[in-house]
Structure 1
Amino acid sequence: MHRTLTRSIGFWILLIVSLAAIGVGGWLIAGQIGTMTSTLLDGTATGVEVYVGSRSWWSEPRCSAPA
Protein backbone atom coordinates (compact mmCIF):
# COMPACT_ATOMS: atom_id res chain seq x y z
CA MET A 1 0.00 0.00 0.00
CA HIS A 2 1.55 3.31 -1.13
CA ARG A 3 0.48 6.59 0.51
CA THR A 4 1.20 9.96 -1.01
CA LEU A 5 3.13 12.52 0.97
CA THR A 6 0.18 14.87 1.42
CA ARG A 7 -1.92 12.09 2.94
CA SER A 8 0.74 11.18 5.46
CA ILE A 9 -0.04 12.22 9.04
CA GLY A 10 3.68 12.65 9.71
CA PHE A 11 3.90 15.21 6.90
CA TRP A 12 1.05 17.28 8.29
CA ILE A 13 2.44 17.12 11.84
CA LEU A 14 5.86 18.23 10.60
CA LEU A 15 4.31 21.03 8.57
CA ILE A 16 2.19 22.31 11.48
CA VAL A 17 5.07 22.13 13.97
CA SER A 18 7.39 23.91 11.52
CA LEU A 19 4.89 26.71 10.92
CA ALA A 20 4.31 27.04 14.67
CA ALA A 21 8.07 27.28 15.29
CA ILE A 22 8.40 29.97 12.61
CA GLY A 23 5.50 31.88 14.14
CA VAL A 24 6.87 31.71 17.69
CA GLY A 25 10.35 32.67 16.50
CA GLY A 26 8.98 35.66 14.61
CA TRP A 27 6.95 36.73 17.63
CA LEU A 28 9.99 36.51 19.92
CA ILE A 29 12.21 38.43 17.51
CA ALA A 30 9.57 41.12 16.97
CA GLY A 31 9.28 41.64 20.73
CA GLN A 32 13.04 41.91 21.17
CA ILE A 33 13.39 44.32 18.25
CA GLY A 34 10.56 46.43 19.63
CA THR A 35 12.21 46.66 23.03
CA MET A 36 15.60 47.44 21.51
CA THR A 37 14.18 50.12 19.22
CA SER A 38 12.20 51.87 21.95
CA THR A 39 15.10 51.92 24.42
CA LEU A 40 17.54 53.14 21.77
CA LEU A 41 15.22 55.94 20.71
CA ASP A 42 14.51 57.19 24.23
CA GLY A 43 18.16 56.94 25.29
CA THR A 44 17.75 54.37 28.06
CA ALA A 45 19.28 51.39 26.26
CA THR A 46 21.63 49.10 28.15
CA GLY A 47 23.65 46.15 26.94
CA VAL A 48 20.85 43.79 27.95
CA GLU A 49 18.35 45.42 25.61
CA VAL A 50 20.76 46.01 22.73
CA TYR A 51 22.68 42.76 22.89
CA VAL A 52 19.77 40.40 23.51
CA GLY A 53 20.68 38.22 26.46
CA SER A 54 23.65 39.38 28.49
CA ARG A 55 24.99 35.84 28.95
CA SER A 56 26.24 35.34 25.42
CA TRP A 57 29.03 33.01 24.43
CA TRP A 58 31.55 35.84 24.18
CA SER A 59 30.75 37.25 27.65
CA GLU A 60 31.75 34.04 29.41
CA PRO A 61 35.40 33.31 30.19
CA ARG A 62 36.82 30.76 27.78
CA CYS A 63 38.72 28.93 30.51
CA SER A 64 39.41 29.42 34.18
CA ALA A 65 42.79 30.53 35.43
CA PRO A 66 44.85 27.88 37.19
CA ALA A 67 44.77 28.10 40.96
Structure 2
Amino acid sequence: MSRASKYLLEGLVTLLVGLALWLLAGDVEVPVVTPAKVGMVLMCVGGAQSARGLYGAARRSA
Protein backbone atom coordinates (compact mmCIF):
# COMPACT_ATOMS: atom_id res chain seq x y z
CA MET A 1 0.00 0.00 0.00
CA SER A 2 1.47 3.31 -1.06
CA ARG A 3 1.75 6.38 1.12
CA ALA A 4 -0.91 8.21 -0.94
CA SER A 5 -3.46 5.43 -0.50
CA LYS A 6 -2.74 5.32 3.24
CA TYR A 7 -3.43 9.06 3.50
CA LEU A 8 -6.59 8.65 1.46
CA LEU A 9 -7.89 5.76 3.57
CA GLU A 10 -7.01 7.45 6.86
CA GLY A 11 -8.62 10.68 5.71
CA LEU A 12 -11.84 8.96 4.68
CA VAL A 13 -12.10 7.13 8.00
CA THR A 14 -11.46 10.35 9.92
CA LEU A 15 -14.04 12.15 7.80
CA LEU A 16 -16.66 9.47 8.47
CA VAL A 17 -15.99 9.47 12.23
CA GLY A 18 -16.30 13.25 12.26
CA LEU A 19 -19.55 13.07 10.29
CA ALA A 20 -20.96 10.53 12.74
CA LEU A 21 -20.03 12.73 15.70
CA TRP A 22 -21.50 15.80 14.05
CA LEU A 23 -24.78 14.09 13.16
CA LEU A 24 -25.33 11.80 16.14
CA ALA A 25 -23.72 13.43 19.15
CA GLY A 26 -25.34 16.85 19.02
CA ASP A 27 -27.44 16.27 22.14
CA VAL A 28 -24.64 14.80 24.25
CA GLU A 29 -23.26 17.15 26.87
CA VAL A 30 -19.61 16.82 27.85
CA PRO A 31 -18.12 19.32 30.33
CA VAL A 32 -15.06 20.33 28.31
CA VAL A 33 -15.85 19.99 24.59
CA THR A 34 -18.91 19.78 22.37
CA PRO A 35 -18.91 16.53 20.36
CA ALA A 36 -20.54 18.24 17.37
CA LYS A 37 -17.69 20.77 17.20
CA VAL A 38 -15.11 17.99 17.52
CA GLY A 39 -16.90 16.26 14.65
CA MET A 40 -16.56 19.37 12.50
CA VAL A 41 -12.84 19.55 13.24
CA LEU A 42 -12.40 15.86 12.41
CA MET A 43 -14.26 16.34 9.14
CA CYS A 44 -11.92 19.19 8.19
CA VAL A 45 -8.83 17.17 9.09
CA GLY A 46 -10.16 14.12 7.25
CA GLY A 47 -10.90 16.20 4.18
CA ALA A 48 -7.39 17.63 4.21
CA GLN A 49 -5.85 14.16 4.57
CA SER A 50 -8.00 12.82 1.75
CA ALA A 51 -7.02 15.71 -0.47
CA ARG A 52 -3.35 15.06 0.28
CA GLY A 53 -3.81 11.40 -0.59
CA LEU A 54 -5.56 12.24 -3.86
CA TYR A 55 -2.84 14.75 -4.73
CA GLY A 56 -0.13 12.21 -4.01
CA ALA A 57 -1.86 9.58 -6.13
CA ALA A 58 -2.34 12.01 -9.01
CA ARG A 59 1.26 13.19 -8.82
CA ARG A 60 2.58 9.64 -8.72
CA SER A 61 0.59 8.56 -11.78
CA ALA A 62 1.62 11.60 -13.85
After TM superposition, the score normalised by the length of structure 1 is: 0.44
Q: Which has the higher contact order (CA 8 A, sep 6+)?
A: 2
Structure (1/2) with the larger helix percentage? 2
After TM superposition, the score normalised by the length of structure 2 is: 0.48
Larger radius of gyration: 1
